[in-house]
Amino acid sequence: DAKTTQPTSMDCAEGRAANLPCNHSTISGNEYVYWYRQIHSQGPQYIIHGLKNNETNEMASLIITEDRKSSTLILPHATLRDTAVYYCIVYNQGGKLIFGQGTELSVKP
C-alpha cells in the first residue's frame, strides 16, 4: 500500500508556480521521497527525489519538512505541458516503487 496521501486534483494558472503537497507521516529514516508524473497515455516520468534536504533540478524543487512527515513539489512556472498526474512515493533502497492515486494537476491558460 502507498505510504503517502495527496490531494486528488489541483488547478494552476499557466505561468504561476504549482505547489503539490504530500503527506508521508510514517516515513522511516532511510526512506526517500520520490516524485514522478504521468502525462496522459505515457509512461511515468521521474521528476526529483530527496531524503532530508531540499532539492532542486531543472524540472522542479522539492521541499521536505524538518520532521520529514510531509513534502511539497514546486513547479516554478507551470506550462500547459505540465498537466499530468503527479505521484509522491516513499521509496526504500532496494524496495519497490509503490504508486498511490496521485494528484491530477490541470494547468489552465
Partner 1 sequence: DTAVSQTPKYLVTQMGNDKSIKCEQNLGHDTMYWYKQDSKKFLKIMFSYNNKELIINETVPNRFSPKSPDKAHLNLHINSLELGDSAVYFCASSLWGQDHTEAFFGQGTRLTVV
Residues near partner 1, by CB under 8 A? 32, 36, 38, 41-46, 49, 51, 85, 87, 91, 93-94, 96-99, 101
Quick check: helix, strand or coil at residue 75?
strand
Pick between residue 42 and residue 109 the one whose CB is nearest to partner 1. Answer: 42
Q: Contact 105/8 with Cβ under 8 angstroms? A: no
Q: Which amino acid is located at 58 in the chain?
A: E
Nearest distance in Å: CB 109, partner 1? 25
The least distance separating partner 1 from the CB of residue 100, rounded to whole angstroms, comes to 8
Is 81 or 96 the residue whose CB approaches partner 1 more closely?
96
From residue 21, how far is each of 43, 79, 103 by CA, in Å? 22, 19, 9
* Nearer residue to partner 1 within complex by CB, 14 or 38: 38
**Sign of the torsion angle spanned by Cα atoms 42, 1, 11, 18:** negative
